[in-house]
Structure 1
Amino acid sequence: MAELLRVDKLVAGYGDAKVLALVEFSLEEGRSLALLGRNGAGKTTLLNSIVGVTTRHSGTIHFASRDISRLPAENRAALGIGWVPQERNIFRSLTVEENLTAIARRGPWDTARVYGMFPRLKERSRNLGNQLSGGEQQMLAVGRALMLNPKILLLDEPLEGLAPIIVDELLAALRNIVTGEGMSAIIVEQKARKVLPLTDEVIVLERGGIIYRDTSIALLASPETLEKHLSV
Structure 2
Amino acid sequence: MAELLRVEGLRAGYGEAVVVQGVDFALDAGRSLALLGRNGTGKTTLLNTLVGVTRRHAGRIVLAGQDVSALPPYRRAAAGIGWVPQERNIFKSLTVDENLSAVARPGPWTPARAYEMFPRLAERRANLGHQLSGGEQQMLAVARALVLNPKLLLLDEPLEGLAPIIVDELLRSIARVVRDEGLSAIIVEQNPRMILPITQQAIVLDRGSIVHRGDSAALLADPQQLEGWLAVSQR
TM-score, normalization: structure 1?
A: 0.99
Name the CA distance, whole Å, in 2 between partners of 1:165 and 1:96: 21
Name the CA distance, whole Å, in 1 between partners of 2:16 and 2:73: 19
SS in 2 for 1:169: helix
Partner of 1:4: 4
- Contact kept? 2:104, 2:111, Cα under 8 Å: no
Instruction: Give the letter aligned to residue 215 of structure 1.
Output: D
- Contact kept? 2:84, 2:156, Cα under 8 Å: yes
**Matches of residues 172-191 of structure 1 in structure 2 within 5 Å?**
172-191=172-191
Q: Residue 222 of structure 1: CA displacement? A: 0.3
Q: Tell me if 1:159 matches 2:164.
A: no
**Matches of residues 1-232 of structure 1 in structure 2 within 5 Å?**
1-232=1-232
- Contact kept? 2:189, 2:195, Cα under 8 Å: yes
Name the CA distance, whole Å, in 2 between partners of 1:215 and 1:180: 18
Instruction: Give the letter aligned to residue 17 of structure 1.
Output: A
Instruction: Give the letter aligned to residue 182 of structure 2.
Output: G
SS in 1 for 2:185: strand
For residues 17-65 of structure 1, give each alpha carbon's deviation from its aligned partner in whole angstroms, at most 9, with x where no partner exists. Answer: 0001110000000000000000110000000000011100011110010
Name the CA distance, whole Å, in 1 between partners of 2:221 and 2:171: 20
SS in 2 for 1:33: strand
Identity of aligned residues (%): 68
Q: Residue 74 of structure 1: CA displacement? A: 0.3
Poorly superposed stretches of 4+, deviation over 6 Å:
none
For residues 123-149 of structure 1, give each alpha carbon's deviation from its aligned partner in whole angstroms, at most 9, with x where no partner exists. Answer: 000000000000000000000000100
Q: Residue 169 of structure 1: CA displacement? A: 0.1
For residues 177-208 of structure 1, give each alpha carbon's deviation from its aligned partner in whole angstroms, at most 9, with x where no partner exists. Answer: 01111000000000110000010000000000
Name the CA distance, whole Å, in 2 between partners of 1:175 and 1:214: 19
Name the CA distance, whole Å, in 2 between partners of 1:80 and 1:101: 18
Instruction: Give the letter aligned to residue 91 of structure 2.
Output: F
SS in 2 for 1:160: coil
SS in 1 for 2:75: helix
Instruction: Give the letter aligned to residue 125 of structure 1.
Output: R
Name the CA distance, whole Å, in 1 between partners of 2:58 and 2:152: 23
- Contact kept? 2:37, 2:205, Cα under 8 Å: yes
- Contact kept? 2:111, 2:147, Cα under 8 Å: yes
Total equivalences in the alignment: 232
Instruction: Give the letter aligned to residue 218 of structure 2.
Output: A
Instruction: Give the letter aligned to residue 59 of structure 2.
Output: G
Q: Which runs of 5+ in 1 are unaligned?
A: none
SS in 1 for 2:91: coil
Q: Residue 112 of structure 1: CA displacement? A: 1.0
Name the CA distance, whole Å, in 2 between partners of 1:179 and 1:20: 28
Q: Residue 111 of structure 1: CA displacement? A: 1.1
